[in-house]
Chains A and B, each alone.
Chain A
């Protein structure tokens, strides 16, 4: 979609929300808006898009209570603010909007969480991403390294960049708005995304990208939306398989889940954010025992998180049940760099090739 079209669409949908409230008030109906309930219990697997989306449970936000009325007033202010921002061709971050709300008197936000939730609500209702409202994510996207040529629309003109030849050691930093990116060509067979910078650097240093025709991607922990969208696009537009390489602990599995299945917080955006075909390459709990990796004991928080994952519909597969239960039994976790205990080349020469062929990627 062209920027102009997208702006028009976003404006139309924002006005649609206000229009509904206007009609409700005019016909003496207490204004309300209904939103999907945003809890783990209300996410469902969508066969068509192969991602997890919100289910049919809805929460009604109505001005019939003081709290509800206040919420609607704030939402009206946000809608008005975003509509004007699009019209003026300006953009802002969530943080900036939070500060701008200082001038909204009673409608000002009491904490940034509140404005974040509100923007997510608007994404859900309009079925548009926050970028469509000219809201810039604060966090940078992560980095890409490998045989991929891209064209980026920057504020200072078009740039064509090769993600190995034209970049330094850090790779190509993904911009916050990936709608301005275009993939020109590539020479890769798959994408490997890593949780930690250490492993990203290890693969780069060992020339893994060239040896196995891989695009390396650094997730930087829980990946930013732009990072997830790039992964999704690499998978969808270029048809490249995606594998996710993280630490062997419950929090890392959630990183994988948010990439592959979509996150609970952003289930409404799963279709553009999630990469349903992404596969988990490791560290698997079974690897810890098979390779006798150096390990730390699970903390109480880790155990609780693993148990929560057993009730999470996204992890409701035989593979994950087996691995998570095994980990609970072992009572340990390992970092992805733990493979270094078997030598610096072990991970690129032994582990990854073995896993990739097992998974049918190479």
Chain B
């Protein structure tokens, strides 16, 4: 036997399961520590996707229990639509099985590897089958499966299948047990928190070996899943074109119009004319050379961009802010959603937010939250186009210091939503450097940078003014004391003056020659609506302006006025009386109010 024959005898096809068994790192199982995060991430992504499709507000439970030294049982349970018993073994027990792979639309999972890879990892490290419970509705029973994967064939092996009673009406629960550690607990919590930020409609409860965390939902709006679209003529490659053509029984023109998004009558004619093919040709009969010229014609003709509003579902500025607000207490937060753009025929939308202050670390690099299709990217920050784009912005011109990404109490969120997020690897940790995407990120960062700068300079100005006010207020009593000593009178009350300088609402009552005068001066920066209550023996029938309401209580009159007062202006009322009684102001925060009764 010669060498070639000997080698040939050893050659055989390998199943995808075998391949990934050897290349765990490609799927994010490169270390036991990471395994937990990847598993939870895949399961939670699936749950969120499923809930979205069924238009259900997600309610997700994440459990991690230590069962043995180095062995953890991971549980993810959702209230999603459930999976039919026929499909359960394939979804969890076969790699590359999924419903979304062929669809052109934004979704979290695409390839159908993630969760089955976790099952594979479990059987590799502990041999314990994964347990899946699912129920598709209250009319149907719940099924419980124990699953393994036959690695040689990449087919599910059902260890046990049974109908059980489950208190959930619908949903899916997966339990996987494998060797791991909780060393990356902080990152896991980050993942859950970040997920909750960009999915403010979801409630996630986590029990991490007895440590409970609750990520409440901030919005009761159900997310409508984006619709799949046909491929765009600019974003297609020869292989796909060949397959599509072979499967179609239409004429060339119909094939173009029906099979691709945004191709109309005119575009189709144009493409066909450039390709040099006859428009009556059946696409199934096209030769490879003909397909090549068709492809190049498709990419030459200018076709409107794909319908992003259909196939993409950006989070939206308001929801991003809601999401951030519920998880972080910041002094400032602003979000921006850009208009959709296209790279290689794939529509994408960049959204971003910037936050400042609050409990963020004041030293060190900014917190950078990267997201792709609402999924947090936790690893390989340095290799990511998002990081690169953020670093390319000159943050110094927005009053931030910078070492690559900005430093200080800053939080930056960037979300790339696309029908085809260009990841650098299958573990989906980093976005590849696509010029169109980086450019959009830089633009949105500049936009948000300007907003932050405005906030910072306003804040600095307010701070300065406050310091000035404090300095003045600390000197006023001394001036008043000295002055009263010179004029030999009792020291005047400096409180109203200080209140004015500190920008408060000052209400005063003073009676001179039998005329009671009530003034309310608004020294704040915004208009106020106050209700003035003056209780005294005076009936105030001659009040100017007239009271809005007068009530007799015993031998006293409770007089009430309502007044809207603009900043730096005052409201005044007078009536004849003795000035006895009380003055009370409602409608202004007590911290912003000073009431001075000069008659008291």
Chain A residues in the interface with B (C-beta under 8 A): 14-15, 18-19, 21-22, 25-26, 28-31, 63-66, 69-70, 72-73, 76-77, 79-80, 83, 106-107
Contacts and interface: CB of A to CB of B under 8 A. Distances in A.
B12 interface: no
Contacts of A72: 475, 479
A339 to B, nearest CB: 56
A28 B476 contact: no
B486 A76 contact: yes
B471 A22 contact: no
Contact of B492 (A26, A83, A107): A26
A71 to B, nearest CB: 10
B10 interface: no
Interface in B479-495: 479-480, 482-487, 489, 492-494
B483 A76 contact: yes
Contacts of A69: 471-472, 475-476, 479
B501 A64 contact: yes
B478 interface: yes
A30 B479 CA distance: 11
Nearest to A20: B483
B500 A21 contact: no
Nearest to A14: B486
Nearest to B484: A22
A213 B471 CA distance: 63
30 contacts: A14-B486, A15-B487, A18-B482, A18-B486, A18-B487, A22-B480, A22-B487, A22-B492, A25-B483, A25-B492, A25-B497, A28-B496, A28-B500, A28-B508, A31-B483, A63-B479, A65-B468, A65-B472, A66-B471, A69-B471, A69-B476, A72-B475, A72-B479, A73-B475, A73-B479, A76-B482, A76-B483, A76-B486, A80-B485, A107-B478
Given A18-B487, A22-B487, A69-B476, 6 more contacts: A18-B486, A21-B483, A22-B484, A22-B489, A31-B483, A69-B479
A77 B506 CA distance: 29
A17 B482 CA distance: 12
Contacts of B471: 66, 69
A69 B489 CA distance: 21
A64 B508 CA distance: 21
A18 B483 contact: yes
Interface string B484-527: 11110100111011001100001010000000000001000000
Contacts of B476: 25, 63, 69
Nearest to A17: B486
Contacts of A18: 482-483, 486-487
A83 B487 CA distance: 10
A28 B484 CA distance: 15
| Residue among A21, A29, A65 with most chain B CB within 10 A | A21
| Residue among A25, A30, A72, A106 with most chain B CB within 10 A | A25
Interface string B444-486: 0000000000000000000000001001100110111011111
A77 B482 contact: yes
Given A30-B500, A66-B472, A106-B475, A25 B480 contact: yes
Given A18-B487, A28-B496, A64 B482 contact: no
Contacts of A30: 497, 500-501
A36 to B, nearest CB: 23
A22 B492 CA distance: 7
A287 B485 CA distance: 60
A80 B500 contact: no
Interface of B: 468, 471-472, 475-476, 478-480, 482-487, 489, 492-494, 496-497, 500-501, 506, 508, 521
Contact of A73 (B478, B486, B492): B478
B481 to A, nearest CB: 9
| Residue among B482, B492, B506 with most chain A CB within 10 A | B482
A307 to B, nearest CB: 40
A108 to B, nearest CB: 12
| Residue among B479, B485, B500, B521 with most chain A CB within 10 A | B479
B475 A80 contact: no
A70 B472 CA distance: 8
Contacts of B496: 28
A65 B472 CA distance: 6
A79 B483 CA distance: 9
A208 to B, nearest CB: 52
B486 A28 contact: no
B355 to A, nearest CB: 33
A69 B131 CA distance: 77
A73 B500 CA distance: 19
Contact of A25 (B472, B479, B485, B506): B479
| Residue among A14, A30, A64, A69 with most chain B CB within 10 A | A69
Contact of A19 (B487, B493, B497, B521): B487
Contacts of B500: 28, 30
Contacts of A26: 492-493
Contacts of B506: 28
Contacts of B501: 30, 64
4 interchain residue pairs of minimum CB distance: A66-B471, A18-B486, A28-B496, A76-B482
Given A26-B492, A28-B497, A69-B472, A83 B479 contact: no
A70 B543 CA distance: 42
Given A25-B476, A73-B475, A106-B475, A80 B508 contact: no
Contacts of A22: 480, 483-484, 487, 489, 492
B245 to A, nearest CB: 79
B482 A80 contact: yes
A29 B500 CA distance: 9
B489 to A, nearest CB: 6
B499 to A, nearest CB: 8
Contact of B486 (A31, A70, A79): A79
Contact of A76 (B479, B493, B497): B479
Nearest to B596: A28
| Residue among B480, B493, B501, B506 with most chain A CB within 10 A | B480
B439 to A, nearest CB: 47
Contacts of B487: 15, 18-19, 22
B489 A25 contact: no
A78 B475 CA distance: 16
A256 to B, nearest CB: 41
Contacts of B468: 65-66
Nearest to A11: B486
A39 B483 CA distance: 29
Contacts of B508: 28
A106 B472 CA distance: 13
Contacts of A106: 475, 478
A226 B323 CA distance: 79
A69 B471 CA distance: 8
Contact of A63 (B472, B484, B486): B472
A63 B483 CA distance: 13
